[in-house]
Chain A
Amino acid sequence: MIRLALGVELRGLLRSPLRLLFLIVVLVVGWVVIGQGQADVERWQMAIQEGEAAQSESIEEARSWFSEGVTGPADRPWINLTQAHYQDYFAATRISRLPAPLAGIAFASAEHGAVTMRLNRFADPLVAHGSEIENPALDAAGGLDLVTVLSLLIPLLVLALGVELGGYERSSGLLSLVRVQSGRDSAWIWARCLAVGLIVTVVALALCGLAVSKGGVTLGDGAPLFSLVVIYVGVWTALLALVASISRDPSHGAVLLGGAWILLCVIIPSLAVEQSAALAADDFALDLTVEARGERGATYDLSESDLYAAVYERFPDLRAVEPDPRNAGVRYARDGVRFAGLEERMRGRHALASSQSDLVSMMACASPTLALTHALEGLAGRGPAAAQAFRESAVAAIGDRTERVIRADWGPDSLGAEHFESLIEASPGAVALPPFGVQRELLILGGWLLGLLFLAASRTQRA
């Protein structure tokens, strides 16, 4: 029966210019946004390359002074590369966030975290800007990328292809005819739903396949994307089957399907955004701004013993190279205390952000669209978790750099080219973020699928 239903749906599709047009629109928009996504990934990589070029200029400049046997340039005599401070300044390597293989699919994400930042002991990844200048007027529109196409347009395609399903058979009396002829009227409705689902799955998988091939991703790495999309189409197909089992006529079906789409794709996400705005209402980042500035200033008020105690609490290994006299190392000790403050702020921010992430997790259960969006942004490495992971890597690298610089200053040796090179070598460079696990979202979507299938089946049995 499924082959028969598939034939009917394909013929129906070819005969209906509106449906065919909608399918073509989805494919064309999908193709365009995949291209745009790829261009965005190239801009991302370009930003990293520009950062690395600026870094190598600074490093080469310092190397040239070493090779000339001087400690700095003639026109800036205060620069002295035998001091740890200037070594840190000129070895300001970049720490970069490599784009995830599927980064292009979510290029319209509102997450604009930094992709590359200068690494020295004064860097503050918590207030670093992204590599792109954004136009807020365009950002506020919500963005159109493959994530939007898959989460909003694909369900609409299911609706467009199956809007009359069930209702048409019932209102025209066809269903009774099928029942009389084969006694399997519900099987016919299910077969038609499945046929619609198959057509939409092929369209969605074609778009995902294109995104995977453009992103140079292996099929294995693309498997989570394919799985999510197949289950998501399954959810909407099951919803179609449920509506088909109860719709009295095409008009009734259209309203029910339209209502379901609006509820799941617009109203529930809107409630979530409203809740998110309420959570963020009182956050004016005082911890990252006024208080951070105050903490930095307060390091000058600490007594020498308190200062060293605070440094050793964070960097216990530095006890071994404590300078003699102690006051010779005070300047760099303050950097150690400032870094401890940065780490503290990062932990505080993490706790604050977790209320937002809990909200997203909770709302993802209430709408398959939110679950899919969250999973795809995560797969693309564009979500808050990716930005947070990069900030954590950057802060860890700054901690390492700070310890090295303090050790260099406090140590007995005079600093030379080998110290400078060791600073560069110890910098992490590019950071590839850990892969995002989509198990939770797969479970949520699977739950929706099973729940809707159960409802549709029980409804059909009752009918």
Chain B
Amino acid sequence: MGSIFWNEWRGLLRDGRGRLVFGLGVLLAALSAWASAATFAAQEAAQAAAVDTARCAWDEREGDSPHSRAHFGDYVFRPSGVMSALDPGLQAVTGRVVFTEAHRQNDAMHHPQQAASGLLRFDRLEPSSVLQVLAALVIVLAGFGVVSAERESGRLKLLQVQGVKPWQLLLGKAAALWSIGLAICFVVVGANVLLVEGMDLGRVLVFFLTHALLLWVVAALVTCVSAGAKRSGTSAAVLLSFWVAGAIILPRLAAMSASALDPLPGRDAFQAAMQEDREKGLDGHNPLDERRKKLEQEILAEYGVQTRAELPVRLGGLIMQADDEYGAKVWDKHFGELEEHLLRQDAFAGKFSFVNPFQAVDRLSMAISGTGLSSHLEFLRQTEDYRRELVRRLNEEDAYGVELNAEGRLQRTTTQDFFLSFKSFEYSPLGLNELVGRQEADLLALSLWVLGATAALALTSRGMAGGIVS
């Protein structure tokens, strides 16, 4: 079997077409690793600079009341995460900036690549795409004639006469094809580990293994199809169709079906529903609002006083906080429903993983890299938590950061140090176990594909031994 393995490699490197395909594969892998690492470094530097700029604007501002500072707000700039160098996932289509302020939750905005939206129809040449799409293609192009060419040239019979068992032949050929894919995998992952500082080696290993499994599926299927095809032309046509369907067509079809069968609400309708619920709460800025008046009475009773002027705290801050807490509940309800909807659509698209191994690995790869839908939603959730904490502290300072002056009136005690005590938003990425745990269906699908491809290889070799495939 070892000699079959090495023979395949020798054949690949001897044949001009094989050298071209393999050489191009390795070149694109190296190019992609370099380009991705450079883009990641530029993005990280720009994100850090943006955070600094926003922080300076916050720190240098003077003379604000806590409430006006809550309206001044803060900007959150999405960090990419170190694993995004391997798989940037959804980052090209999600907004990078969120404005956090009092009373309202804003959507993530600014997708700079939209200025080249026509290009976004196509995959980026990122390391994960190179492994899922190009490495698989290299295996297909290098291997479509791996058995059928032997048959066409009559060498297959010669090998059988020499005593090579079909399982040895197929396993040797499949292992050789797999090793071609693994070589590209090593180049891509190895280059990224070298070029990008601070890579999480545990995640990198899982990333490598996941792609190695996909490449095994491809290598085994290529060997089976080549063994079953009477002519190399037929094998090439079938395998290229499989590749085109899996890598290009099915993911798009899955997305279109999910969107058509379970459409999301329009932005206006979503915001109108949220506004309707919001209006059922109190309006902190409207002194005539009935609910506000009721809350005012409750606060006066709590402090045992009759009028606002007698309160030892600023009523406005307490009312604003109550207003914001109600707004947060409304957001939790509506965003919770929207999040469920997004996940439901994603889960529907994920069912295609059972018919398309490329999609299973793509989804797992994004999860491992922390750049999938779950991570995006987690980022939005943490941003909202940050907003609430920011606004709560400012509202409380607005209410309690006061003292009675000599004339018996409230005056602010808020100093610049209070504003300087705020820290910028920091994103805590979800752990690997949690992220991968949410992709159970994709894990199952990939396992089934690995088992199925291996079983197909075994059945094909048995068929060859029995003369069914000859």
Interface, chain A (partner B; CB < 8 A): 29, 33, 36, 39, 43, 46-47, 50-51, 54, 75-77, 108-113, 127, 129-145, 147-148, 152-153, 156, 160, 163-164, 167, 249-251, 253-255, 258-259, 261-262, 265-267, 269-274, 276-286, 288-291, 293-294, 297, 352-353, 356-357, 359-360, 363, 370, 373-374, 377, 382-384, 387
Contact = CB atoms under 8 A, between A and B. Distances in A.
A270 B123 contact: yes
B263 to A, nearest CB: 8
Contacts of B293: none
B109 A278 contact: no
Interface string B97-119: 10100000001011111111111
B137 to A, nearest CB: 6
Among B116, B133, B252, the one with the most A-chain Cβ atoms within 10 Å of its Cβ is B116
B109 A129 contact: yes
Interface of B: 17, 28, 32, 35-36, 38-40, 42-43, 45-47, 49-50, 53-54, 57, 61, 72, 75, 77, 88-90, 92-94, 96-97, 99, 107, 109-126, 129, 133-134, 137, 141, 144-145, 231-233, 235-237, 240, 244, 248-249, 251-256, 258-260, 264-270, 286, 288, 338, 342, 345-346, 349, 372-373, 376
Among A111, A249, A266, the one with the most B-chain Cβ atoms within 10 Å of its Cβ is A266
Among B50, B129, B259, B269, the one with the most A-chain Cβ atoms within 10 Å of its Cβ is B259
B97 A285 contact: yes
Contacts of B42: 278, 281-282
A291 to B, nearest CB: 8
B233 A250 contact: yes
A223 B68 CA distance: 57
Contacts, number: 276
B114 A148 contact: no
B122 A273 contact: yes
**Dominant secondary structure of chain A at its interface with chain B:** helix
A137 B248 contact: no
Given A266-B122, A356-B115, 10 more contacts: A47-B266, A110-B113, A111-B114, A137-B372, A255-B141, A270-B125, A277-B92, A278-B38, A285-B112, A377-B118
B264 A111 contact: no
A288 B98 CA distance: 12
A306 B235 CA distance: 76
Contact of B119 (A108, A273, A288, A387): A273
Contact of B346 (A113, A135, A277): A135
B118 A137 contact: no
B46 A50 contact: no
Contact of A109 (B97, B117, B376): B117
Nearest to B342: A135
Contact of B118 (A135, A136, A270, A373): A373
A152 B248 CA distance: 9
Contact of B32 (A113, A274, A297): A274
Contacts of A291: 53
A36 B259 CA distance: 10
Contacts of B346: 135, 137-138
A134 B108 CA distance: 12
A254 B240 contact: yes
